[in-house]
Amino acid sequence: MKIIVAERIGELMKEEGLNQVQLAEKIGVKQNTVSSWVLKKKEPSISSLWALADYFGVDIDYLVGRKDM
C-alpha cells in the first residue's frame, strides 16, 4: 500500500502545484512527515488520510488504491 499512497499523494501535489512544505502546512503535519510518505518510508495515519482526502477532495479509497477517481 505504501507505493500506491506515495504515488497518489505525489500526483495530487503535482496537480495542485504544491511542494512538501506547503502540503504539510495545509493539513497540519510537519514537512518531514510528508517527505516520509512520498519517499515510501511511512504510511499516513488514518487521521492524516482524512486530512489529505479532505484537502484534495478525494476519497480515502482513492488514496490507498482501492479505487480510481
Q: Which amino acid is at 2?
A: K
Domains, the chain, ordered by start = 2-63 (1.10.260.40)
Confidence of residue 1 (pLDDT cuts 50, 70, 90): low
Greatest alpha-carbon pair distance for the chain in Å reads 28
pTM of the model: 0.92
HSE-up (13 A, CA, CB side) for residue 36: 11
Q: What is the pLDDT of residues 21-35, one digit of tens each?
A: 999 999 999 999 999
Q: Give the position of cell 495545509.
A: 26
Residue-level pLDDT at 13 = 98
The pLDDT of residue 40 is: 93
pLDDT tens column, 36-61: 999 999 999 999 999 999 999 999 99
